[in-house]
């Protein structure tokens, strides 16, 4: 450790001689980060974004965001002489005539998928460990906004090449815009500069994709990281870890080396995948023509669940006075469901603390099992998302597994209401069982697998007390007290005006905390320790005897040489 500190000091000294920055650097380079693999998931997203910036800049050098019709005359002979937009022609040019262009396109596209996938997984980690709790609620909201802007940015990029698939995607996006009550048609005309597809949209989308949204993402990432820096990283429970310290390694050099190295690992894996596996072969799709479409038209995975929701929705429409159509068939799956989901995600920290009444500051993470209801809510939501994903790929599933398309749709129409609650119940039950197991470990120790036969003939298994590290982790569970229901009326019989909401809140709080298993009391723990010590004592002769045993006969026979080393057996 002293070598590390020396390393930091020499670095700070070098900079201070030139920049007088010792104070700043000393404070920040020695900043400690806790270590856990799951804390690096957010880093994958950050590095993917850097890869996206680098590869994206390269692509802008050759991409022409124009809907002007041209006749293709490049080296991909299969499309030679075909009329297409300049946007599509330049994408073909990047793929076949620009040096490294196809690799760059594939790196850009794979990195975009990594960006959103890693944000999603990172968010799951933050959710299931309760890292969003006070004081980090605002950073959770910034993270949610990053997910939403990431999805928008991805969809914009997917649409730019103006190939058959992206044009189909835009056509659906246009339909969703038009489904907005009252405003839909106007907004659609405004966006596309007239009827779909028009001549303006690609150029407009380009500005959104390379300037507006990336700028927004960059600003949000900056805010996100500054908040992490200022609030310090959370840590998992363990010996010596408290709400007031951070146990880990200093930024310089350990964490910097790890994080820097991980950047290259991420870049390397992205490049490897891009070099080996095709993504979005636009030359196969051909240019977008509004009267063409391909079977199996799908969006990228992060839009797939919305596409799935649209596919699942029955075709309900309300027609008012034969003049106004309310497209419930599009509005509910494509606007209301994502609206509710993202609002629920963004507001979850406040919703949870309202229900639990927990206003404490948390730097130690929850173990998912210790918050059974939250964990179950998360798994239920993932199940919901998963059902929509399956629905989004229903045609590919139908042909791959020869299941009728309609059967899949009908099964999923029921499953979307049945599976998430089921996942909730099962997960909550699992968490409680794990808590019970922890409880057992504290009181009875761990099972050693050694069976003791008493002189009375009774068999018992020897238990040993768990390690201090494990004990510290288990004991990290915080006391929880559900909110008490407010009195309906006071001593004078006056009705409590806050009674109804208060009772609802208390009910939710009981629901949230209901199944939790309380930690053993100090007296119980002491009794358990004494018992375990006694048990360990009674096991000493057995363990000593075991140590003397010789294994013979190819491991089949245990021979006891006797107490004084002589053979105890005379056969």
Partner 1 sequence: MNAIAANRRHPAAAYVVLLLALVSVGALYAALATPSRAATAIGSSTQVDQGKSLFAEGCSSCHGLNAQGSGVGPSLIGVGAAAVDFQVGTGRMPLAQQGAQAVRKASIYSDTERAALAAYVASLAPGPEIPSASMVDAANADLARGGELFRTNCAQCHNFAGRGGALTNGKMAPSLMNATPTQIYEAMITGPESMPKFGDGTMPVQDKQDIINYVHNLQNSPNQGGAALGRLGPVTEGLILWTVGLGLLIAAAAWIGAKAR
Is the Cβ–Cβ distance between 413 and 312 less than 8 Å?
A: yes
DSSP 110-173: HHHHHHHHHHHHHHHHHHHTTTTSTT-HHHHHHHHHHHHHHHHHHHHHHHTT-BHHHHHHHHHH
Q: State in angstroms the smallest separation of the CB of 400 from partner 1.
A: 8
The smaller minimum CB distance to partner 1, of residues 122 and 374, is found at 122
Q: State in angstroms the smallest separation of the CB of 282 from partner 1.
A: 10
Q: What is the DSSP letter of 477?
A: P
Residue with tokens 């200022």: 230
The smaller minimum CB distance to partner 1, of residues 1 and 182, is found at 1
The alpha carbon dihedral of 170, 172, 175, 176 has a sign of negative
Cα(151)–Cα(299) distance, rounded to whole angstroms? 11
Q: State in angstroms the smallest separation of the CB of 482 from partner 1.
A: 36
In terms of Cβ atoms closer than 10 Å to its own Cβ (0-12, 13-18, 19+), residue 480 is: middle
Is the Cβ–Cβ distance between 121 and 41 less than 8 Å?
A: yes
In terms of Cβ atoms closer than 10 Å to its own Cβ (0-12, 13-18, 19+), residue 427 is: buried
DSSP 167-225: HHHHHHHHHHHHTSTTTHHHHHHHHHTSSSSTTTHHHHHHHIIIIIHHHHHHHHHHHHH
The smaller minimum CB distance to partner 1, of residues 2 and 77, is found at 77
In terms of Cβ atoms closer than 10 Å to its own Cβ (0-12, 13-18, 19+), residue 489 is: exposed
The smaller minimum CB distance to partner 1, of residues 165 and 442, is found at 165
The smaller minimum CB distance to partner 1, of residues 36 and 450, is found at 36
Is the Cβ–Cβ distance between 129 and 234 less than 8 Å?
A: yes
Q: State in angstroms the smallest separation of the CB of 118 from partner 1.
A: 7
Cα(124)–Cα(132) distance, rounded to whole angstroms? 11
Angle between helices 137-159 and 213-231 (to 10 degrees): 160
Please give the structure tokens belonging to residue 335. Answer: 């606007």
166 Cβ contact list (under 8 Å, min separation 6): 158, 159, 160, 282, 288
Q: State in angstroms the smallest separation of the CB of 291 from partner 1.
A: 7
Q: State in angstroms the smallest separation of the CB of 279 from partner 1.
A: 5
Q: State in angstroms the smallest separation of the CB of 36 from partner 1.
A: 6
The smaller minimum CB distance to partner 1, of residues 265 and 484, is found at 265
Q: Please name which of 354, 351, 324 lies closest in space to residue 340, comparing C-alpha atoms.
A: 351
The smaller minimum CB distance to partner 1, of residues 206 and 255, is found at 255
The smaller minimum CB distance to partner 1, of residues 114 and 140, is found at 114
Q: What angle do CA 431, 434, 436 make, to 5 degrees?
A: 115
The smaller minimum CB distance to partner 1, of residues 150 and 482, is found at 150
The smaller minimum CB distance to partner 1, of residues 96 and 354, is found at 96
Distances, alpha carbon 369 to alpha carbons 49, 243, 376, 430, in Å: 33, 20, 9, 8
Burial track 181-196 (b if 16+ CB lie within 10 A, e otherwise): eeebeeebeebbeeeb
Q: State in angstroms the smallest separation of the CB of 101 from partner 1.
A: 11
The smaller minimum CB distance to partner 1, of residues 164 and 213, is found at 164
Q: State in angstroms the smallest separation of the CB of 23 from partner 1.
A: 28
The smaller minimum CB distance to partner 1, of residues 180 and 297, is found at 297
Q: State in angstroms the smallest separation of the CB of 12 from partner 1.
A: 23
Q: State in angstroms the smallest separation of the CB of 82 from partner 1.
A: 5
Q: State in angstroms the smallest separation of the CB of 459 from partner 1.
A: 38
The smaller minimum CB distance to partner 1, of residues 257 and 422, is found at 257
Cα(311)–Cα(272) distance, rounded to whole angstroms? 34
Cis amide prior to 197 (ω within 30 degrees): yes
Is the Cβ–Cβ distance between 484 and 557 less than 8 Å?
A: no
Q: State in angstroms the smallest separation of the CB of 396 from partner 1.
A: 5
Q: State in angstroms the smallest separation of the CB of 250 from partner 1.
A: 12
The smaller minimum CB distance to partner 1, of residues 468 and 546, is found at 468
Please tell me whether residue 536 adopts helix, strand or coil conformation: helix
Is the Cβ–Cβ distance between 161 and 87 less than 8 Å?
A: yes
């Amino acid at each position: 450790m002293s070598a590390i500190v020396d390393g930091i000091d020499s670095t700070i000294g070098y900079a201070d001689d030139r920049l007088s920055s010792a104070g700043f650097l000393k404070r920040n380079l020695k900043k400690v980060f806790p270590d856990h693999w799951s804390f690096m998931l957010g880093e994958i997203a950050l590095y993917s974004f850097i890869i996206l910036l680098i590869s994206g800049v390269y692509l802008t050098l050759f991409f022409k965001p124009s809907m002007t019709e041209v006749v293709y005359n490049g080296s991909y002979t299969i499309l030679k002489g075909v009329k297409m937009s300049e946007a599509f022609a330049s994408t073909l040019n990047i793929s076949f005539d620009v040096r490294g262009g196809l690799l760059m396109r594939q790196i850009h596209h794979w990195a975009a998928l990594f960006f959103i996938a890693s944000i999603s997984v990172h968010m799951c980690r933050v959710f299931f460990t309760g890292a969003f709790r006070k004081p980090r609620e605002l950073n959770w909201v910034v993270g949610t906004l990053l997910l939403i802007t990431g999805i928008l940015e991805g969809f914009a990029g997917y649409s730019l090449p103006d190939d058959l698939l992206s044009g189909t995607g835009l056509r659906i996006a246009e339909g969703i815009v038009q489904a907005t009550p009252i405003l839909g048609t106007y907004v659609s005309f405004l966006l596309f500069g007239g009827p779909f597809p028009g001549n303006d949209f690609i150029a407009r989308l380009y500005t959104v994709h390379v300037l507006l949204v990336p700028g927004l993402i960059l600003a949000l990432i900056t805010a996100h990281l500054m908040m992490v820096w200022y609030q310090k990283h959370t840590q998992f429970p363990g010996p010596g870890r408290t709400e007031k310290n951070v146990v880990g390694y200093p930024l310089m050099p350990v964490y910097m080396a790890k994080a820097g190295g991980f950047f290259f690992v991420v870049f390397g894996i992205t490049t490897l995948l891009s070099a080996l596996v095709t993504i979005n072969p636009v030359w196969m799709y051909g240019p977008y023509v509004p009267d063409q479409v391909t079977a199996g038209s799908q969006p990228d995975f992060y839009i797939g669940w919305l596409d799935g929701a649209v596919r699942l929705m029955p075709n309900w429409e309300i027609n008012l006075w034969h003049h106004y159509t309310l497209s419930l068939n599009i509005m509910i799956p494509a606007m209301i469901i994502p609206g509710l989901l993202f609002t629920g995600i963004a507001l979850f920290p406040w919703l949870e603390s309202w229900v639990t009444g927990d206003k404490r500051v948390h730097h130690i993470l929850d173990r998912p099992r210790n918050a059974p209801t939250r964990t179950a809510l998360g798994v239920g939501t993932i199940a919901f998302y998963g059902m929509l994903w399956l629905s989004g790929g229903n045609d590919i599933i139908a042909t791959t597994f020869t299941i009728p398309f309609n059967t899949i749709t009908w099964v999923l129409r029921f499953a979307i209401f049945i599976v998430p609650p089921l996942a909730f119940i099962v997960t909550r039950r699992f968490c409680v069982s794990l808590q019970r197991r922890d409880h057992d470990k504290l009181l009875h120790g761990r099972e050693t697998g050694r069976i003791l036969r008493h002189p009375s003939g009774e068999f018992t298994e020897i238990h040993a007390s768990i390690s201090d590290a494990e004990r510290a982790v288990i004991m990290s569970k915080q006391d929880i007290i559900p909110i008490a229901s407010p009195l309906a009326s006071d001593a004078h019989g006056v009705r409590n005006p806050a009674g109804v909401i208060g009772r609802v809140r208390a009910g939710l709080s009981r629901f949230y905390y209901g199944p939790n298993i309380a930690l053993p009391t100090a007296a119980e723990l002491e009794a358990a320790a004494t018992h375990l010590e006694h048990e360990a004592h009674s096991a000493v002769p057995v363990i000593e005897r075991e140590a003397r045993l010789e294994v013979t006969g190819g491991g089949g026979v245990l021979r006891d040489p006797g107490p004084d080393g002589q053979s105890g057996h005379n056969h």
